[in-house]
Amino acid sequence: MALPIEDYALIGNCKTAALIGRNGSIDWLCCPRFDSPACFAALLGDAYNGRWLIAPKEPSIDVRRNYRPGTLVLETEFQTKTGTAALIDFMPLADGADLVRIVTGRSGRVIFQTELVVRFNYGVAVPWVNKLDDGTINATAGPERLVLRTPSPLYGEHLKTVGEFAVEAGQSIPFVLSYEPSFQSHSPAIDPFEALARTETFWHQWSDRCPDLGPWTDAVRRSLITLKALTYAPTGGIVAAATTSLPERIGGTRNWDYRFCWLRDATFTLLALINLGYYDEARAWRLWLLRTVAGSPSQIQIMYGVGGERWLPELIVPWLSGYENSSPVRIGNDASKQLQLDVFGELSDATFQAFKAGMGMSERGRELLPAILEYLATAWQQPDEGIWEVRGGRQHFVHSKVMCWVAFDRAAKIAQSQGSNESSRRWGDIADEIHADVCERGFDRELNSFVQAYGSKRLDASLLLLPLVGFLPPEDPRIRGTLQAVEDKLLIDGEFVLRYETEHGVDGLPQGEGAFLACSFFLVDNYILQGRYAEARKLFERLLSRRNDVGLLAEETDPLNGRMLGNFPQAYSHVGLINCALNLSRQKGPAEERARAQGAPAVASVAAEDNG
């Protein structure tokens, strides 16, 4: 059975990623892209579905692990009765798809075992394995091939490749696993030690640009590295997580594929990158957005593939039992077909924030926004599926309407700054119409709070975003009433914010899921905007304690036992951490900038961008 989610760590090459357990087993790897079929799928099944174990043969007395500072190079140190040795795991950032594991002796002598179980196509396709004269192991199935190179002797046994070796202090034994098409000649072997030095240098140079944020610098740097690791470098798209079907509740059925790019994350991600000085990444993310949504505004989706793919059919993998028997295992995501009007607000706001930051607008960007707004001018009145992608029918969700307001509000400000008074007035008038509609139909006077949807009495954590996007000022009594209602109805143990109410209340896990961590970060930002700084810091520190031992966050946490839930690591959780740290450490952070978005620069450059 797979380990607890918090016992995994991430390595990657900005094209794909692997999850490595503290037991030395790689239980998840998709090649050559994040959304490719897995060749190690034990995470969602068992060892037969594919894994690569390197660990001491005898039980360890102690296991400690950490990332080398400022890098995505993972060290797992095993202490045994006979000595201590470290397993160093990383993926070089190069044209190929290589995974390097180096076992290094620290003291004494430790006997290791390795077990390589390759199963292509999500754990079902058993490859043909052969050994070449130079000891190279080939595992081939159809168009795919994994090649293992190591000086350690290996042999086949029961459809797996196994071996034992001893390592002494000062000795290092490397293993290099390479993915390549089976119909091409072998790629040249890489030097694992040179690759380690090169990989460390890359990550150091990249992460050293992170500014000083006081006591939260290390946490922010680790979250930045995680965001970079979840970025598909060829296109700039950022996946929501490296995994699929890790459950929102153990044994539950709400198991979704998150290896895609959501438009909803656009603005907060852009602000995180801009405010930390990572403009190249911010531009790449914005260019991905512009390329991906090109075409008819009515066809804009809430998510896309890492290359901008639109067709993401949802399939069930019947041969995988699911993480801790949480089935079904899903590949693809049918939520891509949903109507979620909030994404139009995200696109407009991302454009506005980039504009404010002086990043300019490409010709494509200048043409795209008016086309979107023409469509949204009538579409905003429709019901939609809402931010949480609940598959229970469309409603007039308040958050969706507010984000439609954001779309027109930001467009009006951009038009005004460019001297287009007619467009500014038109978009501003529609924004005013939506604002009045939400205040009239989305606010419940009896509850003294905005509600999840028109005509509803239920609370929703997305309402915490109203002041963050500037819909009403933080000091407005309706915002303060909403904040109080969320604290009363959705907050558990002063830390965990549930996404929404159900008819069963909020005790335990009534809606079949844990507490969505991004919502708790929304609450931190609200406390900051309310001037409740001590409460904000206290809650933020509690959320930091929910990271695992190597600084990673999942999508959710189980309020009852503290276990991580949902796909892992989750980009939105790490974006929330970064922006909260910025808000707490600076006089004016992203929450303040977005909440009080009172106009673009008087003069902003209009840059002609390649591929933009």
The domain that holds 538 is classified in CATH as 1.50.10.10
How far is the C-alpha of 79 from the C-alpha of 88, rounded, in Å?
15
Share above pLDDT 90 across residues of the chain, in percent, rounded to a whole number: 77
**% of the chain residues with pLDDT over 70:** 94
Query: How are beta strands 515-516 and 556-557 bridged, if at all?
Result: antiparallel
d(CA 32, CA 34): 7
What Rg, from alpha-carbon coordinates, does the chain have? 25
**What are the pLDDT digits (tens) for 273-306?**
988 999 999 888 888 888 888 888 889 999 999 9
Are 166 and 229 found together in one domain? Answer: no
At residue 75, the pLDDT reads 98
pLDDT above 60 for 56: yes
Instruction: Tell me what pLDDT residue 350 has.
Output: 87
Pairing of strands 161-168, 237-238: unpaired
Whether residue 25 is contained in a domain is answered as yes
State yes or no: pLDDT of 203 exceeds 60.
yes
Confidence of residue 433 (pLDDT cuts 50, 70, 90): very high
Residue 610 lies inside a defined structural domain of this protein: no
Q: What is the pLDDT of residue 442?
A: 97
Round to whole Å and give the CA distance between 474 and 462: 15
611 within domain boundaries: no
**What pLDDT is stored for residue 285 in this prediction?**
87
Q: CA dihedral in degrees (527, 530, 531, 533; nearest 10)? A: 0
Overall average pLDDT of the 190-195 stretch: 96
Q: Is 600 a residue whose pLDDT tops 50? A: no
Domain-located, residue 601: no
- Span 234-272, pLDDT tens digits: 999 999 999 999 999 999 999 999 999 998 887 888 889
Query: To 10 degrees, what angle do helices 571-585 and 517-529 make?
Result: 20
How many domains are contained in the chain? 2
pLDDT at 606 over 90: no
* pLDDT of 603 over the 60 cut: no
What pLDDT score was predicted for residue 592? 65
Check whether residue 182 and residue 308 sit in a common domain.
no
Q: Could you read off the pLDDT of 531-561 as tens digits, one per residue?
A: 999 999 999 999 999 999 999 999 999 988 8
Compute the distance between CA of residue 371 and CA of residue 82 in angstroms, rounded to an integer: 69
Whether the pLDDT of residue 610 is over 50: the answer is: no
Q: What 8-state DSSP symbol labels residue 59?
A: P
**pLDDT of 135 above 90:** no
- What are the tokens at 378? 């009538």
Question: Mind listing the pLDDT tens digit for each residue in 356-378?
Answer: 888 877 777 777 888 999 999 99
> What pTM, to 2 d.p., does this model score?
0.93
Q: 343 and 218 in one domain?
A: yes
- pLDDT attached to residue 591: 66
* Mean of per-residue pLDDT scores for the chain: 91
Q: Please tell me whether residues 182 and 247 are part of one structural domain.
A: no
Pair 534, 444 in one domain: yes
The strand pairing partners of 172, in sequence order, are: 104
- Please indicate, yes or no, whether residues 172 and 293 belong to a single structural domain of this protein: no
pLDDT band at 604, cuts 50/70/90?
very low
Whether 414 and 531 map to the same domain: the answer is yes
Q: Is residue 280 domain-shared with residue 197, that is, in the same domain?
A: no
Residue 182 has pLDDT above 70, yes or no: yes
| Whether 334 contacts 395, CB under 8 Å | no
600 within domain boundaries: no
The Cα–Cα gap between 105 and 57 comes to 14
Per-residue model confidence as pLDDT tens digits over 580-594: 999 999 756 666 666
For residue range 488-516, list pLDDT tens digits in order.
999 999 999 999 886 544 444 445 678 99
In 317-375, at which residue ranges do the beta strands (DSSP E only) sit? 330-331
Q: Tell which of 174, 206, 238 closes a domain.
A: 206
Domain containing residue 532:
209-595
Has residue 478 been placed in a domain?
Answer: yes
pLDDT at 477 over 60: yes
User: What number of CA atoms fall less than 13 Å from residue 46's CA on the CB side?
Assistant: 5
Tokens of 356: 């404010």
Q: What are phi and psi of 18, to 5 degrees?
A: -125, 150
Residues 72 and 213 in one domain: no
Q: Examine the domain organization and report whether 521 and 404 are in the same domain.
A: yes
Backbone angles phi, psi at 563, to 5 degrees: -70, 150
